[in-house]
Structure 1
Amino acid sequence: MASVASQVVLHPVTTQSLKVLSTTIGRDKLYRGIQYFARFFAWLLLSRGYKIQAARWDALKSHLALGRKLLRLGKFMENAQAVLKALNAPGDTGERITAIGRQLGYFGYLSLDNIAWANAIKFYNLAPSTAQKINKRIMQFWFTGILFSLAHGLLKAGRLANEVKKLQNQTWAEKSLEAERDLKLQNLQVAREAVRYQFIMDVLDVWIPATNVGLVNLNDGVLGIFGLITSLMALRQQWLAAGGKN
């Protein structure tokens, strides 16, 4: 039994899991996945008439959402830094503008999210009408940030596709130059895959704030599935990074 226990505890999968969960973002994505699964499952139970069981999962969803706000305290400063870096960064103007718009959207979202957390734990009491307005602004900023992220992804994908096409059409007399071209193509393909991956996540995530601000009307079952998928995708990125594969 001791041998079996040591194999489980010291297994590489266990070690990599601990590396992921030792980071704030790793824990956040795990909690987010459970949160959105709970949102979906609560909707499913409620739609079938299991009100008591649904209330249990709805409570789990709400407490995880509140706990994740604590993990995000002060995170808006990362977006502030990203805005300043993007202002001075070289490169395509459209990509820079959309990158700045994305970071400003997330900055507003996370800044107000901190205020909403303080109000939720009764550390700072807001009038119900004010709290409602802040929650709406949070969703509007989140929605804006994702829209800019989608635009940024499209622009970057277009630029990378043009660079790949340009390199593929070039011919090289020397093998060393051809090898250099192949390496550049490989790096461009990796970058394109990363852009596509993020674009898929944004396409799914955008419906959550869009529903909360009243632009569309998707039920909690659909939003729960979308949130679960993007949480698992983000958790996969952290898993690969912890394993040195990203």
Structure 2
Amino acid sequence: MSGAISILSLVANNHAANIYIKYASTLVGRDKACRFAQYFSRFLVYLLSQRTTKPTGTSWLTALTKVQGAMGTTRKIMRSGKFIDFLNLFVKSLATKGEDEVTKFLNSVHKLGMFVFMAFDTLGLLGSLSVVTLRDAGKVGRTAQRGWMVAIVCQLLAAVYQLRSLRMREVDLERVRRHVEKSADVMGDREIAVEQQIIKSQAQAARRQLVVAALDLTIPVKGLGLLPINEGLVALAGTVTSLLGAQDVLAKITV
């Protein structure tokens, strides 16, 4: 008995177990895990539907389709009511002072788009559960997708704008660096090195946001039928951004 307790204690105090506990305790962490399961199942469904005709493959196809639907519904339930948070963030973003006007505008529209997405997403969920009666459930879903698409486009444009601004800062910093070299200013060299590191870090984050936004944009674009994007590519894009999101959560809890 004591041996079993020791083993359980060892497992409970394991570093990996502690990381899992911290990850699972966050709502965003659970959402990213469910999102990965949802889009990876969607990707496997696409592959099986393209290649499999055997009865065994059909059973897998049915099971994975159910997983995809269950994960999608679970995520809808977890984020239901979150539109209130985004409405609050939208109002706060309008009152923000001292921020670049372009960044402020894109940030505000992003929050507004997410509010529309979450509000109509919750309304669609209530309709599917027969809590409310919807005249046109399809229209509600399309409105949610449009709100999400607007929010993603704003993220993409914000990343492009930030990269442009950082590039301009780099040019100005290079001009200052040449002046400092001529004057042999040691303190100036150190300050420039710190600023270069900051710019590098911010540019890396902006490029990551750009990639994630570009990949995620395929999902509502496909859902709204705006472009004939391959179903497998959409599912793969969702899988990749889910993993990147999970990585962000892990980075925060392992600091």
TM-score normalised to structure 2 length: 0.88
> Are 2:85 and 1:82 equivalent residues in the alignment?
no
Shift of the alpha carbon at 1:5?
5.0
Gaps of 5+ in 2: none
Q: Does 1:136 align with 2:139?
A: no
Give the deviation of 1:4 after TM superposition: 5.5
Stretches of 4+ moved more than 6 A in 1?
none
Pick the aligned partner of 1:211 from 207, 218, 222: 222
What CA distance in whole angstroms lies between the structure 2 residues aligned with 1:116 and 1:89? 36
1:19 aligns with 2:26: no
CA RMSD of aligned residues (A): 1.8
Q: Which amino acid aligns with 1:100?
A: S
What SS class does the counterpart of residue 206 from structure 1 fall into? helix
1:96 is aligned to: 104
- Specify whether residues 108 and 149 from structure 1 end up closer, same or farther in structure 2 by C-alpha distance, changes over 3 A only: same
The amino acid of 2:43's aligned partner reads: F
Query: Who is 1:121 aligned against?
Result: 129
Contact 1:17 1:239 in 2 (8 A): no
With 65-74 and 166-175 compared, the bigger mean Cα shift is at 166-175
Q: 1 or 2 for the larger relative contact order (CA 8 Å, sep ≥6)?
A: 1
Paired residues of 1:29 and 1:232 also in contact (CA < 8 A) = yes
CA–CA distance in structure 2, aligned partners of residues 217 and 139 of structure 1: 16
What aligned pairs does 1:3-42 form with structure 2 within 5 A after superposition? Answer: 6-42=9-45
User: Cα gap change, 1:52/1:219 in structure 2, threshold over 3 Å: closer, same or farther?
Assistant: farther
Worse overlay, 188-197 or 215-224: 215-224
Does residue 253 of structure 2 align to residue 242 of structure 1?
A: yes
Checking the alignment, whether the CA contact within 8 Å between 1:160 and 1:192 is kept in structure 2 is: yes
Partner of residue 178, structure 1:
189
Residue 158 of structure 2, aligned match among 127, 130, 152: 152
Alignment identity in percent? 24
CA distance in 1, matches of 2:167, 2:10: 46
Distance between the aligned counterparts of 1:232 and 1:64, measured in 2? Answer: 15
Paired AA for residue 222 in structure 1: L
1:23 & 1:193 partners in 2: Cα distance? 25
Return the alpha-carbon distance in structure 2 between the equivalents of residues 156 and 86 of structure 1.
Answer: 18
- Matched AA of 1:45: L
Using the TM superposition, give the Cα deviation of residue 68 of structure 1 relative to its aligned residue in structure 2, in angstroms. Answer: 0.4
Q: Please say which of residues 177-186 and 95-104 is displaced more in the overlay.
A: 177-186
Query: 1 CA distance for matches of 2:191 and 2:176?
Result: 12
State the Cα deviation string for residues 103-157 of structure 1 (Å, max 9, x = none).
Answer: 1111110111111111122222323xx1110001111111111111111111111
- 1:194-218 superposed Cα distances (whole Å, 9 cap, x missing partner): 1111110111110110011111122
Q: Which moved more, 1:3-12 or 1:17-26?
A: 3-12
The count of aligned residue pairs is: 242
Distance across 2 between alignment mates of 1:108 and 1:39: 25
Query: Structure 1 119/52 Cα, relative in aligned 2: closer, same or farther at 3 Å?
Result: same
Residue 77 (structure 2) aligned to one of 70, 73, 78: 70
Q: What is the CA–CA distance in structure 2 between the aligned matches of 1:42 and 1:177, rounded to whole Å?
A: 58
Structure 1 unaligned spans of 5+: none
Q: Hey, what's the Cα distance between the residues in 2 that align with 1:18 and 1:95? A: 36
TM superposition shift of 1:63: 1.0
CA-CA distance at 1:6 after TM superposition: 4.2
What is the TM-score normalised by the length of structure 1?
A: 0.91
Distance in 1 (CA, whole Å) between partners of 2:7 and 2:220 is 46
Q: Which moved more, 1:25-34 or 1:154-163?
A: 154-163
Instruction: Name the residue aligned to 1:225.
Output: 236
